Amino acid sequence: MKTICVVGAGVIGLSSAVRILDRFPNIDITVIADKFTPHTTSDGAGALLEVYAVGDTPLELVQKWGNETWDHLKNLTFSVDAGSARVQQVSGYWVSSDPQVILKTNRDGENISRRLTREEMQLFPQAKSGQFFTTYLVDCTSYLPWLMKRYINKGGKIINKTIQSLDELYPLYEIIINCSGLHSHQLLGDKELFPARGETIRVIAPWIKQLYIQEIGEEITYILPGSKNVVLGGTCQKGNWDKECNQKDRSALFERCCQILPSLKMATVDYNWVGLRPCRSRVRLEMEPRSAHTKCRVIHNYGHGGAGIALHWGCAQTVVDLLQDLMNNTSINSKL
């Protein structure tokens, strides 16, 4: 029986571990991470399913991973587990200063949006185009524990430990799934990785039932309803490693959200959050070529930027497919 180690316990690592156990229920698998939910970067994500270009990652792959994730979240929303996983279907407004808005479609290419009427556009004076659309929203503070419970119930093991180098794991495991996100900058010396700092505010505003996204130039402001609180975002500061909340950023963010929905001025702040998105020129999802120095094989799955939630289930399926090929002794040395 193969021994497998998954490095990282965010949404990418946990979904990979769960899908591996779905395919290989008797496999010996351990998740190793320095942080587990509720302390991972994934726990603070706005977590709206929105598929978009991720660096230079081939668009057909991004769409494939997004389609598979869409199917998973859709099925979960209409399952008995929807309440515990806190996945929900939501609708709302997306407006832009770009007059050539492209209507959103779901995984089958079916239209899930409509253009806003002239009366609706008057609600967003800075925008030149807009649409009303439907998608899925994940409360990661519930979804990650749901994934962890599913993983543990299937026999998965966990170790709380900081890994400084994969060399530490080579003697212990036959296969390593590296889902360490931004930590791969240190773990592997991957200089292509860089942070995109994001700051959000969680507020108690139960009267907000729809989502609102406003894109003015390169600045995106969003208001996402949730079962526990409402997420106000966001910021995207590339190359900024600061994990502390910034009063200036927070005030500017709150003001932008209040311009969209003035009733937010009456909301109670629940908490503030800062996270560093693991960005890269392209998602690294590949089998590392066999090394003459070790019998251990490594599959990398990191560098998703802000698209981790939107792509996680599809990327996990690709990990499983690579693992299946490896167990079938096929040759996989090319990048995806």
DSSP string computed for 247-307: HHHHHHHHHHHHHH-GGGGGPEEEEEEEEEEEE-SS-EEEEPPPPTT-S-EEEEEE--GGG
Contact present, 42 and 179 (Cβ < 8 Å)? no
How many Cα atoms are found within 13 Å in the side-chain-facing hemisphere of 267?
26
Tokens of 279: 């960005």
Q: CA-to-CA distance for 145 and 161, rounded, in angstroms?
A: 19
Of the chain, the percentage scoring pLDDT greater than 70 comes to: 95
Q: What value does the mean pLDDT of the chain take? A: 90
- CA-CA distances (angstroms) from residue 194 to 124, 189, 236, 239? 34, 12, 12, 6
For the ranges 136-145, 170-179, 204-213, 227-236, which has the lowest average pLDDT? Answer: 227-236
Q: Give the pair of three-digit tokens for residue 90.
A: 């939501």
Every domain of the chain with CATH number 3.40.50.720 lies at 1-86+139-193+280-336
Q: Quick one: CA torsion of 221, 225, 231, 234, rounded to 10 degrees?
A: -20
Domain 89-135+195-277 in CATH: superfamily?
A: D-Amino Acid Oxidase, subunit A, domain 2 (3.30.9.10)
What is the rounded average pLDDT of the residues 17-33?
96
Average pLDDT for residues 171-178, to the nearest whole number?
94
Which of 38-42, 54-58, 92-96, 325-329 is most confident? 92-96
Q: Which fold has domain 1-86+139-193+280-336?
A: Rossmann fold (3.40.50)
Provide CATH 3.30.9.10 ranges for the chain. Answer: 89-135+195-277
Tell me the C-alpha distance between 10 and 148, whole Å.
Answer: 10
Helices in 122-163 by DSSP H: which ranges?
A: 140-153
Return the higher-pLDDT residue of 91 and 234: 91
pLDDT at 22: 96
Q: Residue 32: is its pLDDT beyond 80?
A: yes
- DSSP string of 5-37, one letter each residue: EEE--SHHHHHHHHHHHHH-TT-EEEEEES--T
Q: Return the amino acid letter for 117.
A: T
In this prediction the pTM is 0.92
Burial of 295 (0-12, 13-18, 19+ CB in 10 A): exposed
Please say if the pLDDT value at position 335 is more than 70: no
* Of 77, 60, 70, nearest in space to 112 by CA: 70
Start-to-end CA span in the chain (Å): 27
Give me the amino acid identity at 66.
G
Mean pLDDT on 210-234: 91
Place 334 in a pLDDT band, splitting at 50, 70 and 90: very low
**Per-residue pLDDT for 292 more than 90?**
no
pLDDT, position 333 = 39
67 pLDDT higher than 50: yes
SS3 content of the chain, % helix, strand, coil (to 5): 35, 30, 40
Share above pLDDT 90 across residues of the chain, in percent, rounded to a whole number? 76
Cα 151 from Cα 137, distance rounded (Å): 22
Model confidence over 195-204: pLDDT tens digits? 999 999 999 9
Question: Does the pLDDT of residue 336 top 50, yes or no?
Answer: no
Mean pLDDT of 135-158: 95
Average pLDDT in the 51-73 region? 90
Lowest mean pLDDT across 37-41, 100-104, 120-124, 167-171: 100-104
